[in-house]
Amino acid sequence: MMKTFDLRVKQLLDGDLSLADLPPELRAEGEEALRLIAAVDRAPVTLTPALDTRVMTAVRQHAKSPARRAWRWLAAPREVELRLRVRPWAVWGGALAAAAALALLLSRPPAPAPSAFHNVAFVRFVLYAPGASRVAVAGTFNQWDQAAAPLVPAGTAGVWTTTLALPVGQHQYAFVVDGRRWIADPAAPAVDDGFGRRNSVVAVTTQGARTL
């Protein structure tokens, strides 16, 4: 049968008690336990300098991959400067044409409001988080920016909600409670993000959004 350490000896190993705190009958067991821990090799570990070279070689190769470059090109924000050189009569002419087009539009019977634009659908996010002082939703659609999409308290106590216009496609997201706690949406399926945390998944189509 396995002989276990007394709880007080375990507390000694945890640093919560000292050897002097143990009753005399436990001293020998305490000393045995301390000998076990004393055998730990705490020598510093040095890895070969070649590790840095190998990592950076792999990193440079990966950075050159066409898919990664294409994604970076698409995702990188750019400043666009637009310069116009116009004559005053053209400005007035343009304004008149725009006013005429607007009047024409307003005179037509109203069409039913579409629930989704061509490539965008409105998705409502809801989280029940009683006691939270702020809640946000962060995901692939806003570069995981915690400040981009705050939720507001709904009528029912503890319920937070927001509606976002999301492009068609599959998105991963999570709620951020009080700026530090990341939690998956309990109402949606979740996938492992590869690092031990869970991301929720929503698929947006022109017909609306659905959880996968």
Q: Does residue 13 bind another protein (CB under 8 A)? A: yes
74 near another protein, judged by CB under 8 A: no
45: contact with another protein by CB under 8 A: yes
Whole-number minimum distance, CB 78 to another protein, in Å?
12
Exposed/middle/buried for 128, CB within 10 Å: 0-12, 13-18, 19+? middle
* 27 counts as binding another protein under rule CB under 8 A: no
33 touches another protein by CB under 8 A: yes
φ, ψ for residue 51 (rounded to 5)?
-60, -45
Integer Cα distance of 114 and 112 in angstroms: 6
Q: Is 94 helix (H, G, I), strand (E, B) or coil?
A: helix
Q: Report in angstroms how near the CB of residue 188 gets to another protein at its nearest.
A: 18
Cite the DSSP H helix spans in the chain: 7-14, 27-38, 50-63, 66-75, 88-107
Token reading at 38: 């004393």
CA 119 – CA 116 distance, rounded (Å): 8
Residue of 27, 72, 181, 210 interacting with another protein (CB under 8 A) = 72
Rounded Cα distance between 5 and 15, Å, is 15
CB-nearer residue toward another protein: 22 or 121: 22
Length of the chain: 212
Q: Would you count residue 36 as binding another protein (CB under 8 A)? A: yes
Best CA proximity match to 202, nearest among 122, 131, 132: 122
70 touching another protein, by CB under 8 A: no
Q: Which of 28, 63, 95, 212 binds another protein (CB under 8 A)?
A: 63
Total site size for another protein, rule CB under 8 A? 47
137 binds another protein (CB under 8 A): no
Name the site residues for another protein (rule: CB under 8 A).
Answer: 2-5, 7, 9-10, 13-14, 32-33, 35-37, 39-48, 51-52, 54-56, 58-60, 62-63, 72, 75-76, 138, 143-144, 146, 182, 193-197
